[in-house]
Amino acid sequence: MNPPHPDPLPQGEREAKKEVIKEDIMKVLVSDNISPKGVEILKKGGLDVDVKTGLKPEELKAIIGEYDGLVVRSATKATAEIIEAAKNLKVIGRAGSGLDNVDKVAATKRGIVVMNTPGGNTVTTAEHTIALLFSMARQVPQATASMKQGKWEKKKFMGVELYNKTLGIIGLGNIGSHVAKIAMGMGMNIVTYDPYLSEEKAKTLGVKVVSLDELIKTSDFITLHIPMTNETKNMINEKTLGMMKDGVRIINASRGGIVDEKALYDALKSGKVAAAALDVFEKEPPGEAPLLELDNFICTPHLGASTEDAQENVALAVADQIVDYLVNGTIRNAVNFPSLSADVLSVVQPYINLAERMGTFLVQNFDGGMKQVVIEYRGEVSKLNYAPVTIAVLKGLLTPILLETVNFVNAPMIAKERGIEVKEITTDEAGDYLSTIIIRVKSDGKESSVAGILHGKKYPRIIAVDDFIVEVVPEGELLVCANNDKPGVIGGIGSVLGKNNINIARMQFGRESQGGKSISVVSVDTPVSKELLEELKKLPNILSVKQIHLPA
């Protein structure tokens, strides 16, 4: 037997070496409950893992500086203040799709990758919607409660069949599509409203695409599967409820705030709405909400994604992604960074930022679904690896529609699933600029475009909207006003905004010709209410007003 090989390092140096190796190990904090299998993946990946759940904000802030990675679900709030204290943080991983609890802007400024697990909750949320649908139609919770009180009230709990009834699905993304498949298997007639769904995709799913008004007026049951945005807030309100069939039944397992709870209460109380089932609320938990007092209202405490299967799926997925990034440097399912090597990313990142903002601007300024997207690269940008820039365009176009469910990894797949054709055109000539990107979207005879450049090779600028030459800083809250080029238009806009205490940061103008059509792009410090938008639309010579939300 050979003698042990002598250690060439003295004892003190050997201990110091061990300490250095220990310090080089990346540390990850799991601050919400996830499947133990996910924690095991992190440890097997060579990471030092601490599981500390239920931390108060001040407790999290005090320790977050020690960690390279943070794994959350929905309880932990990764606010700007927490992120500022996270001196070593490189990645935040959400075991789930929603990212309302993560300040993505603050994270991006710090260079922190924000990842989620889109699709992991699709089946379980769709199935919960169907569970609510059955429970509501047959009054299962109410009948159960009655029997547990020793009663036998067969006549009281008369239900309705689902077969041959019309189910209106608002939003036909992954979850809405799965709900449609299940409901069609039960013999229901499906109508859907999704302004961004192509007719070809609708045909493959076997659903009928209708206007929002038609869906609201003709559906026996209505289920919501859309993100919470300024446009969808209180979409189900006193007016839309009044347009519905008498005895309609409503389900919301998407986001709180899409249904005006006061208006729903009144409609349930009057009998206009026969029943409603909510899994999500404006305020969670809702406390002593009036809705909870009604017999024809059933509810669950945000259980859409709460199955053992789904929670294990998202835990395993986020753990794999965290290990891939911290150990191997590979980015997957990031909502704020594309999957690129550092050297390539440093060159094309300014164009990625520009392209995403252009796409987000364009889709909010365009009416209807997209059938085709044409991206033209002119000048120096055409010689770069522009593939990630194209992905950024798609992400920008889809984000206002799908929010956190779209990222730099799945944007091309989602575009394909929605029947959107993507074309790329390159040319060496860029006119007066070193590089120009032009994006055109087309659908059913309609077309809209936007052109953009980098000012000083870094700062994004939009230089044309459709046929109008206009320089726009694409950030924050914007109002795009189409108008006739007549005296008093600018003054009218300024007057309405001023009297409503809305400060104008910038105004840019473009016109076809003197006295012809023109546009005014107004940058404001705060979002404009729907009521104020309607007031602006009524001004003389105003043809349309669109509110556009862009990152700061």
Q: Per residue in 33-69, pLDDT tens? A: 999 999 999 999 999 999 999 999 999 999 999 999 9
Predicted confidence at residue 3, as pLDDT, reads 38
130 and 254, same domain (yes or no): yes
Closest CA to 69 of 89, 86, 84, 55: 89
Beta strands in 444-541 (DSSP E): 446-455, 459-465, 468-472, 477-484, 504-511, 517-524
Please pick, among 73, 128, 255, 378, the residue that the annotation labels catalytic. 255
In sequence order, the 6+-apart residues with CB closer than 8 A to the CB of 144 are none
Q: Which residue type does 49 have?
A: V
Residues 279 and 394 in one domain: no
Q: Maximum CA pair distance of the chain?
A: 100
Between CA 261 and CA 236 the distance in angstroms is: 9
pLDDT of residue 514: 83
The pLDDT value recorded for residue 343 is 66
Q: Domain ends where: 443, 466, 489?
A: 466
* Given the residues 284, 293, 447, 534, the one annotated as active site: 284
| Domain CATH code at residue 211 | 3.40.50.720
Query: Domain boundary residue among 466, 499, 522?
Result: 466
* 137 plus 241 within the same structural domain: yes
Residues 421 and 438 grouped into a single domain: yes
Q: Is 535 a catalytic residue?
A: no
**Known catalytic residue at 302:** yes
Beta-carbon contacts of 435 under 8 Å, excluding residues fewer than 6 positions away, are 351, 377, 378, 379, 380, 381, 382, 453, 454
* Shared domain check, 138 and 100: no
- The percent of the chain in helix, strand and coil, each rounded to the nearest 5, is 40, 25, 40
Per the annotation, the verdict on 255 as an active-site residue is yes
Q: Check residue 375 and give its pLDDT.
A: 96
What is the DSSP code (8-state) at residue 2?
A: P
Residue-level pLDDT at 16: 40
Host domain of residue 225:
122-299
Give the Cα separation of 389 and 403 in Å (integer): 19
Rounded Cα–Cα distance for residues 272 and 222 (Å)? 14
Q: Within this chain, do residues 279 and 326 fall inside the same structural domain, yes or no? A: no
Q: Which of 94, 225, 249, 302 is catalytic?
A: 302
Whether residue 476 sits in one domain with residue 457: no
Q: Per the domain annotation, does 448 fall within a domain?
A: yes
For the record, the structure tokens of 118 come out as 């889109």
Would residue 3 count as lying in a domain? no
In this structure, what token pair is assigned to residue 371? 């059938």
Residue 129 and residue 113 share a domain: no
Q: CATH number of the domain that 512 lies in?
A: 3.30.70.260
User: What stretches of 365-468 show up as alpha helix (H) in DSSP?
Assistant: 387-402, 411-417
* pLDDT for position 13: 43
Q: Is residue 146 part of a domain?
A: yes
Q: Would you state the structure tokens that stand for residue 135, as one six-digit string?
A: 């429970």
Question: How much is the mean pLDDT over the chain?
Answer: 89
Q: Which of 489, 258, 450 is nearest to 365 (CA)?
A: 450
Kindly state whether residue 383 falls inside one of the protein's structural domains.
yes
Asked whether residue 250 falls in the same domain as residue 144, the answer is: yes
- Using the structure block, give the residue that is written with the tokens 């005006």: 260
- Assigned domain for 1 exists: no
Q: What gap in Å lies between CA 173 and CA 312, rounded to an integer?
A: 22
Q: Cα–Cα distances in Å, from 200 out to 101, 163, 205, 272, 373? A: 36, 26, 9, 35, 15
CATH value at residue 357: 3.30.1330.90
Question: What global pTM score does this model have?
Answer: 0.69
Pair (273, 132) in one structural domain: yes
- Give the amino acid at 386: Y
Which of 466, 489, 520 represents a domain boundary (last residue)?
466
Cα-only R_g, the chain: 27
458 and 540 in a single domain? The answer is no
Residue 50 lies in a domain: yes
Report yes or no on 2 lying in a domain: no
Angle at 284 between CA 142 and CA 530, to 5 degrees: 105
Question: What CA–CA distances, in Å, run from 404 to 119, 228, 400?
Answer: 11, 11, 9
> What is the pLDDT, as a whole number, of residue 368?
74
- Give the residues of the chain that fall short of pLDDT 50: 1-23
Domain count, the chain: 4
Residue 20 confidence (pLDDT): 36
- Do 132 and 73 belong to one domain? no
8 located within any domain: no
